[in-house]
């Protein structure tokens, strides 16, 4: 975004600065893989060449599904703890609840008919 400035009111957060400009990131698509540390990376990260790194690459999108951020990050394999959470959207939950309540009603009607 041209002219985007991240200052102390954003606490160093790119996402807060984007939100202040009206851009809200809603989701990201990313892939992670273990890769060997290159000679250049070894000097930057204080590792031996060939040490394992977690390489994460992806894109963040706004509420209109427009790509906003592309990222490529390398984490030291000896200093990372990975946590993965999975959530369903509100629409999925409402749909599942409606489907389940419909099944329950049909089941009660079927048993009442017998």
Distance CA 28, CA 22 (A): 18
What's the structural domain count of the chain?
2
Spatial neighbors of 89 by CB under 8 A, at least 6 apart, are none
**Are 56 and 108 in a shared domain?**
no
CA angle 105, 111, 112 (to 5 degrees): 85
Between 31 and 98, residue with greater pLDDT: 31
**Are 72 and 95 in a shared domain?**
no
Answer whether 20's CB lies under 8 Å from 3's CB: no
At residue 114, does pLDDT exceed 60?
A: no
List of E strands, 11-88: 25-36, 52-62, 67-76
At residue 5, does pLDDT exceed 60?
A: yes
Question: What's the CATH number where 71 sits?
Answer: 3.40.1410.10
User: Which residue segment(s) compose the domain that 21 sits in?
Assistant: 1-83
Between 96 and 64, residue with greater pLDDT: 64
Q: What is the pTM of this model?
A: 0.65
**Are 105 and 66 in a shared domain?**
no
Count CB-CB contacts under 10 A for residue 47: 19
């Amino acid at each position: 975004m041209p002219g985007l400035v991240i200052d102390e009111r954003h606490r160093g957060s790119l996402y807060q600065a984007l939100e202040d400009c009206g851009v809200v990131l809603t989701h990201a698509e990313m892939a992670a893989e273990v890769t060997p540390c290159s000679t250049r990376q070894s000097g930057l990260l204080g590792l031996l060449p060939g040490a394992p790194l977690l390489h994460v690459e992806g894109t963040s999108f706004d509420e209109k599904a427009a790509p906003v951020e592309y990222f490529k990050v390398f984490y030291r394999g000896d200093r990372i703890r990975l946590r993965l959470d999975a959530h369903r959207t509100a629409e999925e939950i409402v749909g599942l609840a409606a489907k389940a309540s419909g099944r329950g009603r049909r089941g009660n009607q079927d048993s009442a008919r017998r």
